[in-house]
Chains A and B, each alone.
Chain A
Amino acid sequence: MLRKKTFKQGATLPHIKNTAQDQTILMPAPKTIVVPMLQHIGAPCEPTVNKGDHVKVGQVIGDTDKYVSAPIHSGVSGKVVKMDIILTYAGNNVPVMIIESDGENEVYEGVRPPKIGNLDEFVKAIRASGLVGLGGAGFPTHVKLNLPNEANIDTLIVNAVECEPYITSDNREALEHTRHVVRGMQIIGEYLKIPNIIIGVEDNKPESIEILSQAVKGTKIKVQPLITRYPQGAEKMLISALTGRKVPSGGLPSDVGTIVLNITTVSFISKYLETGMPLVKRRVTVDGTAVKNPGNVEVVLGTTIRELLDFCGGVTEEIKKVIMGGPMMGIANYNIDMPILKQNNAILALGEELGDPPDETPCIRCGRCITRCPMSLMPVYLDLYSRRRDLDQLHKYHIMDCMECGSCTYNCPAKRYLVQSIRMGKTLIKQQPKVKGGK
């Protein structure tokens, strides 16, 4: 086996991967689905169908002319019954479309494998599929693939790290759809003419490493085991672990000749080219102490958390917190009637065992936040100056480099809410009018 690699600093988290062995279960489409018009980073979509219209599975129901965006498709066949606005967990008011299923799950006539002859058509097809980064970030994939000068990219990195506790949905993709994962990588490699393809997997997923290593035999793809360490799934950390290259502050992976895609995203590309079915379903890990039957569930996008939890046998105790995503970077939801979005890889319903958020005590200057920060920042000062609203100092300590991974906060013995106050500091800077001649 290859020598394991990793990146510098970061945190050691408990290995909670309860659902790693759980075969994906298909959840039948619910009676109604709630589809927000913003399920990605970028511009929101405009509805392309009206109230009362009949839609089918895979039909476009929202799109926009804006470049950084991705169309949205219906996951059921039925009638558009309502246009509404919801307050998402991210704090935005977003238009939603509510579609009542007719139970037929009739597939839209336009769903057929795309015809692709060149890179341009490939990128267009990816946009039409509505694909966004399925690992959690939700960045439109066609934008990533449409490189301005693709000749400079020498390495395609496939992210199968899944460094957050609990989440196992990417792990299941590697095990259950190995063929598509490998084929997806080859397709991207061919169209973008990228010579090296590496897939990074942490060593807490030995089965994935084994199966993928077998599957890539005879191809140029390399499976690289990584020493388990958080946040290795972060783009910059993964590039550093696999290639030793460092993406400059404020830069993109393409600045160091790489492109990073999530494993489930890559696998979806292969499936889409075979079937033409756009992104209307995804696998979600459902776990947490309050869930009766934790597992991996494939759901129609727009299914609410409530229905998903009911499908998993309901809850065993009163839910205290519901997190969309992992426990380190996921967002706590204020109610469970929120729909599952394209980028949601996990739903965690936690009960009493979670406890209350700890009380903050004075910083004892132990420096643990500094030695854990994967970006080599000083969270202790970012915290201090954010609270003081001292923007000059925040710039000096590179606040905008912080990716809010939470390694500092996780390890803080004084239980300070470092990430929370750093977020406030970043918001203060973003609100600041652009200074002329500024950085």
Chain B
Amino acid sequence: MEKNLLVSASPHIRDHITTRRIMLDVVIALTPAALSGIYFFGWKAALLIAVCIVSCVVFEYIMVKIRKKPLSIGDCSAIVTGLLLALSLPPGLPVWMAILGCFIAIVVIKQLFGGIGYNFINPALGARVFMIISFAQAMTTWVEPGLDAVSSATPLAIMKQAEAGAVLPDMSDMLLGNIGGCIGETSVIALLIGAVWLLARTVITWHIPVFYLGSVALLTWMLGGEGVFNGNPLLHLVTGGLLLGAVYMATDYTTTPMTKKGSIIFAIGCGVVTSVIRLYGALPEGVSFAILFMNLLVPLIDRYTIPKNFGGAIKK
């Protein structure tokens, strides 16, 4: 009738959710943005995406073997890192630079700090910032969408008058993604489709994207134009890597606070730093630096946002 009964601690049932399912949902959510990037920027974009995903997975495999840890490729987190990194690179970037970026992301930032769950900054973002600093020229060479890619400027650079005489593209082009920029950041519509997917699958909650985008909108409206309350917040929301950052990078579990309250503080912090860099900094874009900066504050935020326990203090 029975041999040895299994004895284990309660609970005896578990939800179906796994780390792998969460990561695959992120991949699915990023697919529209990737496809629109390939559509607008052509085979070079496709090549970069493929190279980044493959090299991230390979680096992950090698590092896990060296560290003699259980094989973690199955959790698909390396695919997410590769895809995110590729989507935040300019389409014309040399392949070897992309591979170096993947090395930084997976080997240095993720695995050397202990692998999944232990990295202190978002690997894709950290690698991107490393590349912006190392390859300033290549990382800011934008191309016009289309097969004969010609050098172009991003709307944010135009706003900063970095390129004299250039005019802003139409709003419809900006929503579709038919503008210069990184592979995955240009199409607002594609990014929003992915955001809806993530929310529907409860991979993310609305708090971080809404508070991040909200604080950028408020600050750029307040301080972005001549005088106060004269800026163009909509333009700031649809341009640059803001949407990609707010929905996919500032919501990375490992490098953001764990409580709702902490998440809101984190998101507002990201919004403030992004706006300050965009409006007053030397760089046209500040999303990567803002999120990275806030990543570093996460342990501090977590420490000061411990939820009050049910019922309050111990009596007597």
B-contacting residues of A (Cβ < 8 Å)?
Answer: 11, 13-14, 165, 236, 240, 246-251, 255, 306, 314-315, 318-323, 327-336, 350, 354, 356-358, 361-368, 370-371, 374-378, 380, 397-398, 401, 404, 406, 409-415, 417, 419-420, 423, 439
- In the complex, what residues of A have CB within 8 A of residue B256's CB? 365
B200 contacts partner chain A, Cβ-Cβ < 8 Å: no
The one of A248, A318, A320, A323 in contact with B312, judged by C-beta atoms closer than 8 angstroms, is: A248
Q: Report whether A354 and B12 are in contact in the complex, using a CB–CB cutoff of 8 Å.
A: yes
- In the complex, what residues of B have CB within 8 A of residue A412's CB? 14
The one of B6, B253, B314, B315 in contact with A332, judged by C-beta atoms closer than 8 angstroms, is: B6
Q: Report whether A365 and B253 are in contact in the complex, using a CB–CB cutoff of 8 Å.
A: yes
Complex CA gap A416/B131 in Å reads 36
Q: Which of B281-313 contact A (CB under 8 A)?
A: 306-313
The one of B12, B75, B313 in contact with A321, judged by C-beta atoms closer than 8 angstroms, is: B12
Q: Report whether A415 and B314 are in contact in the complex, using a CB–CB cutoff of 8 Å.
A: no
Complex CA gap A14/B316 in Å reads 40
Complex CA gap A370/B2 in Å reads 38
Of the listed stretches B16-24, B98-106, B122-130, B173-181, name the one at the interface; the rest are far from the partner chain: B16-24
Who on chain B is nearest to A8 by CB?
Answer: B310
How far does the Cβ of B109 sit from chain A's closest Cβ, in whole Å? 15
Q: Report whether A411 and B17 are in contact in the complex, using a CB–CB cutoff of 8 Å.
A: yes
B8 contacts partner chain A, Cβ-Cβ < 8 Å: yes
Complex CA gap A233/B6 in Å reads 27
Q: Report whether A328 and B254 are in contact in the complex, using a CB–CB cutoff of 8 Å.
A: no
Complex CA gap A333/B5 in Å reads 7
Who on chain B is nearest to A361 by CB?
Answer: B19
Q: Report whether B309 and A398 are in contact in the complex, using a CB–CB cutoff of 8 Å.
A: yes
Q: Report whether B6 and A320 are in contact in the complex, using a CB–CB cutoff of 8 Å.
A: yes
Q: Report whether B259 and A367 are in contact in the complex, using a CB–CB cutoff of 8 Å.
A: yes
Q: Report whether A327 and B309 are in contact in the complex, using a CB–CB cutoff of 8 Å.
A: no
A sample of 26 cross-chain residue pairs with beta-carbon separation below 8 angstroms, ordered by A number, consists of A11-B15, A249-B310, A249-B314, A250-B314, A251-B315, A314-B1, A315-B1, A321-B8, A321-B12, A322-B2, A323-B12, A332-B5, A335-B2, A335-B5, A361-B19, A364-B253, A365-B117, A365-B258, A367-B257, A370-B258, A370-B259, A378-B307, A397-B306, A401-B310, A412-B14, A419-B9
B214 contacts partner chain A, Cβ-Cβ < 8 Å: no
Q: Report whether A417 and B260 are in contact in the complex, using a CB–CB cutoff of 8 Å.
A: no
Who on chain B is nearest to A348 by CB?
Answer: B12
The one of B14, B114, B259, B310 in contact with A409, judged by C-beta atoms closer than 8 angstroms, is: B14
A-contacting residues of B (Cβ < 8 Å)?
Answer: 1-3, 5-15, 17-19, 21-22, 72, 75, 114-118, 253-254, 256-260, 306-316
The one of A321, A330, A362 in contact with B5, judged by C-beta atoms closer than 8 angstroms, is: A321
- Which of B10, B259, B309 has the most CB atoms of chain A within a 10 A radius of its CB? B10
Who on chain A is nearest to B4 by CB?
Answer: A334
- In the complex, what residues of A have CB within 8 A of residue B5's CB? 319-322, 332-336
Known contacts A364-B19, A365-B117, A367-B253; A321 and B6 CB within 8 A of each other: yes
Q: Report whether A376 and B3 are in contact in the complex, using a CB–CB cutoff of 8 Å.
A: no
The dominant DSSP class at the A interface is: loop
How far does the Cβ of A99 sit from chain B's closest Cβ, in whole Å? 24
Complex CA gap A142/B199 in Å reads 50
How far does the Cβ of A391 sit from chain B's closest Cβ, in whole Å? 16
- In the complex, what residues of B have CB within 8 A of residue A366's CB? 22, 253, 258
Q: Report whether B310 and A357 are in contact in the complex, using a CB–CB cutoff of 8 Å.
A: no
Q: Report whether A378 and B314 are in contact in the complex, using a CB–CB cutoff of 8 Å.
A: no
Known contacts A251-B315, A362-B118, A365-B254; A376 and B12 CB within 8 A of each other: no
Q: Report whether A370 and B307 are in contact in the complex, using a CB–CB cutoff of 8 Å.
A: yes
Known contacts A328-B13, A409-B14; A249 and B2 CB within 8 A of each other: no
Q: Report whether A357 and B311 are in contact in the complex, using a CB–CB cutoff of 8 Å.
A: no
- Which of B115, B116, B260 has the most CB atoms of chain A within a 10 A radius of its CB? B116
Q: Report whether A410 and B307 are in contact in the complex, using a CB–CB cutoff of 8 Å.
A: no
Complex CA gap A235/B198 in Å reads 35
Complex CA gap A250/B245 in Å reads 43
How far does the Cβ of B1 sit from chain A's closest Cβ, in whole Å? 6
Complex CA gap A412/B5 in Å reads 25
Q: Report whether A410 and B19 are in contact in the complex, using a CB–CB cutoff of 8 Å.
A: no
Who on chain A is nearest to B309 by CB?
Answer: A398
The one of B6, B19, B307 in contact with A413, judged by C-beta atoms closer than 8 angstroms, is: B19
Q: Report whether B21 and A413 are in contact in the complex, using a CB–CB cutoff of 8 Å.
A: yes
Q: Report whether A329 and B6 are in contact in the complex, using a CB–CB cutoff of 8 Å.
A: no
Complex CA gap A356/B12 in Å reads 10
The one of B6, B115, B116, B315 in contact with A255, judged by C-beta atoms closer than 8 angstroms, is: B315
Known contacts A249-B315, A315-B1; A332 and B18 CB within 8 A of each other: no
Q: Report whether B10 and A419 are in contact in the complex, using a CB–CB cutoff of 8 Å.
A: yes
Closest 10 CB pairs of A and B: A406-B11, A367-B258, A420-B9, A362-B117, A366-B253, A375-B310, A398-B309, A248-B311, A246-B311, A250-B314
Q: Report whether A248 and B313 are in contact in the complex, using a CB–CB cutoff of 8 Å.
A: yes
Complex CA gap A335/B19 in Å reads 34
How far does the Cβ of A417 sit from chain B's closest Cβ, in whole Å? 6
- In the complex, what residues of A have CB within 8 A of residue B10's CB? 327-332, 404, 406, 419
Given contact pairs A367-B259, A371-B260, enumerate 8 new A-B contacts (beta carbons under 8 Å): A14-B13, A246-B310, A249-B313, A255-B315, A398-B309, A409-B14, A415-B14, A419-B11
- In the complex, what residues of A have CB within 8 A of residue B311's CB? 236, 246-249, 251, 401
- In the complex, what residues of B have CB within 8 A of residue A397's CB? 306
- In the complex, what residues of B have CB within 8 A of residue A329's CB? 10-11
How far does the Cβ of A376 sit from chain B's closest Cβ, in whole Å? 5
Q: Report whether B18 and A376 are in contact in the complex, using a CB–CB cutoff of 8 Å.
A: no
Complex CA gap A306/B314 in Å reads 44
How far does the Cβ of B11 sit from chain A's closest Cβ, in whole Å? 3
Q: Report whether B309 and A332 are in contact in the complex, using a CB–CB cutoff of 8 Å.
A: no
Q: Report whether B116 and A364 are in contact in the complex, using a CB–CB cutoff of 8 Å.
A: yes
Known contacts A319-B1, A364-B117, A380-B258; A410 and B306 CB within 8 A of each other: no
Who on chain B is nearest to A359 by CB?
Answer: B70
